[in-house]
Structure 1
Amino acid sequence: MAFLSKSWRTLLALLLLFITWETIVRVLEIPQWLLPSPVKIFQEAALHWSDFSVHLMSTLRLSLSGFAIGTAIGLLTAIILFLVPFLKDSLYPLLILSQNIPIIVLAPLLVIWFGFGALPKLIVITLVCFFPVTVASLDGFKQTPAELRHYLSMAGANKNQHFWKLEFPSALPAIFSGLKISATYSVMGAVISEWLGAKAGIGVYMTLASSSFRTDRVFVAIFAIMILSLLFFACIMIIERFVVRWKTKGEDSR
């Protein structure tokens, strides 16, 4: 796999970054509360892993739930807008406007309307996840080759057959592009939603750490968010390679 064969370069770059970071902190004697060294951050993660893992698993469950709901709504929205053109003309601008509302401003309103339970948190993640899937899917549906449409029409295919046998399969690469974007957004959406008043989660852990000037714990939370996002992205890539075989075969032959 080309992605894995090139990953050593990324690992090498990260290693050099951490070495440089560690050196600067030690040479300049930067206080740990201001900028902790990578060694201090990894030590903190290892020593208090049992406590942090509770917050990590809470964010993981919330991210997966919100991602599943958001992508399902996004894909369903894209299918409806594509199959019913007059709805797309009416609703598509509203979808774009919905992304201009800052989530950090909308979040307190969701708490007022729905309380401190899981519902407002899932709504936040859904809002950040559904839009990339909807836009990418719509673009994929429109990019179906015209000659294939013409061929199916000559074969007597109806509108439903056009969509499920041609347009939807042709849009799979674009759909997976939207899924990969949403997968990375879902973790950050979960963290933001946990600032609303959750009992556990990386967002809660980060808030408590920053209020007590435990900068090393803040960086532990940041690294965890980055790793979760990368894992989600990698999982979508692996699924894509199994589902969109004609695309991945063409890439491997290059």
Structure 2
Amino acid sequence: MSTFLSAFAGLVAHLADLLQPLFHDSSAAAAIILFTALVRLLVHPLSRAAARGQRARAALQPKVAELRKRHAKDPKKLQQAVMALHAEEKVSPLSGCFPSLFQLPAFFLLYHLFSNPEIGGRANGLLTHQLFAAPLGERWADALGGDGILGAAGLVYLGLFVLVAGVATFNYRRMKLVMATNPMAVNAEGGEAVPGLASAAKFMPFMSFFTLFSVAVMPLAAALYMVTSTTWSAVERAVLYRWQLAPGAAGSAAGSTT
């Protein structure tokens, strides 16, 4: 693990050096945002594949509805029939999980990098870097214990809280609009072959609000990753899943994919 951390620390430090002429003391913070954007670019093909899979699942909703009527009194047979239908149509109900899973290693590396005072037996120099007045290795509690909520570091966190709240509100309103426009398209989001995923999909818009808690308790560097990734996801989903806002989306999803 220390070898990976050392290599990763070198990468972040190199990016910070490249960005220093533009961002000065906040160059490491800018490097983290750039790193997050690069990770999301690498994962973007998986996100597009997940969007295509969801649209394909939406196209199957009329057939799923027929299976529900046929096996209304036998949930086990209904689950088996839906899974067989997805297998026949080569549609995976879990494809939407892959983009998040492939991001986890990058996030954990960043979290550990800015949680350790030493890397490879040497002092972790990245902990001295800041986002404006807030050290990247510290947390909101440290800012509150310093100059308080309206101090220089506290205002950095307030800005992040406002951004996260804005993104979360955007996600919530968009999902409510999708549900009002086409409930079947939302139902397809979870995939009926896996019990509980459809309900979880409806709960997903609220997950962005939990990022507020993450920003408060994580090192600022890890919080920056989460804020950047969450904002990217909101924009990406608005583009890749724009078909959900069309009336009758679930019925017409068998057409061209995103």
Q: Do both share a fold (TM > 0.5)?
A: no
Scaled by the length of structure 1, what TM-score is found? 0.33
Larger helix share, 1 or 2: 1
Scaled by the length of structure 2, what TM-score is found? 0.33
